[in-house]
Structure 1
Amino acid sequence: MASPALPPLAELLAAAHVVSLPLTTRFRGIEVREAMVFRGPRGSTEFSPFLEYDDAECAAWLAAAIDFGWAPQPEPLRERIRVNATVPAVDASRVAEVLGLYDGCRTAKVKVAERGQSLADDVARMRAVREALGAEGRVRIDANGGWNVDEAEHALHALAEFDLEYAEQPCASVDELAELRERLHDWDIPVAADESVRKAEDPLEVARAGAADLLVIKAQPLGGIRSALDIVREAGLPVVVSSALDTSVGVSMGAWLAASIPSLEFDCGLGTASLLAADVTARPVRAVGGFIEVERVELDDQLLAQHAAEPERAAWWRARLERCYELLANA
């Protein structure tokens, strides 16, 4: 039997729409983003773990979707959030094109350590970003845990000339992050943890180990806004709220989380709807003057129909939801 905190499974399935949205450029190895969105009694919400994630990990994403669509949320402390541009691992010649998708953003997060690419590619991309943003712009990198400690130290020394705001998840493990942070002691390059928070059995381990200077927080993988806020309070570190290539619905969940955090020192990674060539709302949550608004997103029936996933993919997502729902119900 389902927990009283969960809506009936039939209600979730009846409210669900599975969409397949093309991207403006290849990102995380994909060209199409699949997601499940819902009309809940509290507003639109989203369940969109990446396809390779197992059910145990995906259950937290479903908990977040249910929480945002079916439960009351904290009162936001601000009406808009300053966001960064996200630059995928594109050729340096395409950097200006990508940055042009983000109106008024003063900060760029640049993907590095991409499989099949070299450090020289990363350096060229970073140089193009720095030139485009100018000396006053802020530049951060995200390696998604792609380096070992020696590789990270070497790469960060090569990239230091671009005045890095911080390096996000340069290595995969907490122990590696701690060692790298010690090696970088004199280089003034802060280390941010992302996967070491959202994919960890204990999301606070990295903070307790002193392995990061700041945390990257995502609402969906952490089970929702209130669960993420608990982690922020307990960690006691500065945070950046980010999204996971969500539709505008998922981005709105992240914006609500960011708006509920008392102190935001860094621009947030919530401009990623600009990487989508299509969306589920007529008013996509995209940067205007470097900010996004904190508001509920209204699903557009025409767009849901236009970008509906093929029947076999919709069935795959519905089966995934059912398995994750069972995990939540039996937790």
Structure 2
Amino acid sequence: MQLDRRDFALPLDRPLRTSRGEIAERTGVLVRVADDGNRGLGEASPLPGWTESLADCRAGLDRAARALPEGPDAALAAVDGPAARHGLSLALADLRASEAGLPLYRYLGGDDAVTAVPVNATVGDAPPDETAAAAEAAVADGVDCVKVKVGARAVDADARRLRAVRDAVGPEVSLRADANGAWDRATAERALDAFAEFGVEFVEQPLPTEDLSGLAALRGGPVGVAADESLAAGGVDAVLNADAADALILKPMALGGVDRAREAALRARAAGVTPVVTTTIDAVVARTAAVHLAASLAPVAPCGLATGGRLERDLTADPAPVSDGAVHVPQLPGNGTTGAWSA
């Protein structure tokens, strides 16, 4: 068994503004594992603040390559960064699913044939009219769940933005917000109270990652609480044990792989917490794997998988296009993105 890697860099079509700053480019590493002529492909796309650095990711994959002759388990044990582990574990899963003749979602444990997964649209920070226009355009394309980035402005300003969105899309569209840990407890309480008027389903990460008791205290009102960054920082079990969330936002790249993200989703469901699969604006290989993960959990709430359009270009043609508010689930064996290596 052999591991190869190559770097890539993909510009976004426009910077995504969040409370943490702007994301303008996605850089990462393609990971290819070969075994007796068969190949599997994975992606490791580190993101500052979420995973290890790109340099540490490369170093982790080099350690995995040296350990791989001892077997896949030894290679995975040699990787200590979530993005690097995501890339390696996905390459191995793609390889084994292809050998078994199964689409990745069935290999992961999905029981039934699933052809589509509902998605939400993500709208970045912008003035009310721009935010509303972006949400309205997404709904016109068939999306019935919109997530709005908040926290970069005062609560009253974000409330005006959400009011503009609700007025633009009407009462039937689900509305979520994402604060990326921008608030303290008092501000978060005020925000959730203000957002209730607009029928917001939940706010992602209203408090800093470590404040699990604060997240738990926010629960119980009309606006739910979703944990996102807290999962990567403290672990899924810590969030669930603290009763700190109504929903878990599961980013496979930040959790170390689709296998770990699926385990987290199953633990969440057992605890009565809703799993929502999303990406870190990944390239096509990781993004498609996240689609397979969501399909393995079907039926699921709308997931943050409609992110391919954020890239100015991609590594290869997208086998999981989005239309009418849902993402297509590839049915060929494996992940369906091996062409990205030679593109």
Which bracket does the TM-score occupy, shorter chain normalised?
Answer: 0.7 to 0.9
Question: Which deviates more from structure 2 when the two are superposed, residues 21-30 or residues 142-151?
Answer: 21-30
CA gap 1:94/1:299 in 2 versus in 1, 3 angstroms: farther
Tell me the secondary structure at the aligned position of residue 327 of structure 2.
strand
Q: After TM superposition, give the deviation of residue 225 of structure 1 in Å.
A: 1.8
TM-superposed deviation, 1:112: 0.4
Match of 2:296 in 1: 260
Q: Tell me whether 1:274 sits opposite 2:302 in the alignment.
A: no
Instruction: Identify the match of residue 29 of structure 2 among 32, 36, 60.
Output: 36
Contact in 2 for aligned 1:104/1:287 (Cα 8 Å): no
2:326 aligned partner: 291
- The equivalent of 1:23 in structure 2 is 13
Structure 1 counterpart SS, 2:322? coil
TM-score of the superposed pair, with normalisation by structure 2: 0.75
The answer on whether the counterparts of 2:279 and 2:287 sit within 8 Å (CA) in structure 1 is yes
- Unaligned 5+ runs, structure 2: 58-79, 97-106, 331-335
- CA drift at 1:142: 0.7
For 1:301 and 1:230, the matched residues in 2 are separated by: 28
Residue aligning to 2:232: 198
Between the aligned partners of 2:157 and 2:319, the Cα distance in structure 1 is 32
Q: Deviations over 1:258-311 (max 9, x none)?
A: 1111542x2011111222222222337442011111232354579x6xxxxxxx
Out of 238, 244, 248, the residue aligned to residue 215 of structure 1 is 248
Which among 161, 166, 170 is matched to residue 134 of structure 1? 170
Which amino acid counterpart does residue 238 of structure 2 have in structure 1?
Answer: E
Describe the SS at the equivalent of 1:67.
helix
* Residues 52, 83 of structure 2: 8 Å contact kept: no
User: 1:12 is paired with a residue of what secondary structure?
Assistant: strand
Separation (CA, whole Å) in 1 of partners of 2:12 and 2:298 = 35
SS at match of 1:199: helix
Aligned runs of 1:1-331 on 2, under 5 Å? 8=2, 11-13=3-5, 16-28=6-18, 29-40=22-33, 42-52=39-49, 53-54=51-52, 59-71=81-93, 72=96, 73-76=107-110, 77=112, 78-99=114-135, 100=137, 103-114=141-152, 117-172=153-208, 173-181=211-219, 185=220, 187-200=221-234, 202-235=235-268, 236=270, 237-264=273-300, 266-283=301-318, 285-295=320-330, 296-297=336-337, 299=339
CA 1:30–1:188 in 2, change beyond 3 Å: closer, same or farther? same
Mapped partners of 1:298, 1:122: distance in 2? 42
Q: Which moved more, 1:72-81 or 1:214-223?
A: 72-81
3-state SS, counterpart of residue 254 of structure 2: coil
Aligned counterparts of 1:83 and 1:174: Cα–Cα separation in 2: 27
Q: Which moved more, 1:41-50 or 1:130-139?
A: 41-50
Is 1:82–1:267's contact at 8 Å kept on the other side of the alignment?
yes
Q: Distance in 1 between matches of 2:251 and 2:24?
A: 22
Relative to structure 1, the CA distance from residue 43 to residue 104 in structure 2 (aligned partners, 3 Å threshold; closer, same or farther) is farther
Q: TM-score, normalised by structure 1?
A: 0.78
What secondary structure does 1:188 align onto?
coil
Measured in 1, the distance between the counterparts of 2:285 and 2:27 equals: 13
> Counterparts of 2:316 and 2:185 in 1: how far apart (Å)?
42
Q: Distance in 1 between matches of 2:267 and 2:31?
A: 31
Q: Counterpart amino acid of 1:84? A: N
**How many residues were matched structurally?**
285
Task: Compute the displacement of 1:75 (Å).
Answer: 4.8
1:39 CA displacement: 4.7
Deviates more, 1:124-133 or 1:97-106: 97-106
Q: 1:130 to 1:277 in 2, by over 3 A?
A: farther
CA distance in 2, matches of 1:37, 1:92: 39
Deviations 1:105-141 (A, max 9, x none): 1000111002xx2223312321232123211000001
Does the aligned pair in 2 maintain the 1:165–1:190 contact within 8 Å?
yes
8 A Cα contact 2:290 2:305, kept in partner: yes
- C-alpha separation between the residues in 1 aligned to 2:340 and 2:109? 26
Equivalent position amino acid for 2:89 in 1: D
Give the direction of change, closer, same or farther, for the CA distance of 1:163–1:225 in structure 2 (3 Å limit).
Answer: same
Gaps of 5+ in 1: 1-6, 305-331
User: CA–CA distance in 2 between the matches of 1:96 and 1:43?
Assistant: 42
Cα distance, 1:70–1:278 mapped onto 2, change above 3 Å:
same
- Secondary structure of residue in 1 paired with 2:197: helix
Structure 1 SS opposite 2:323: coil
Query: How many Å separate the matches in 1 of 2:8 and 2:245?
Result: 36
Tell me which moved more, 166-175 or 74-83: 74-83
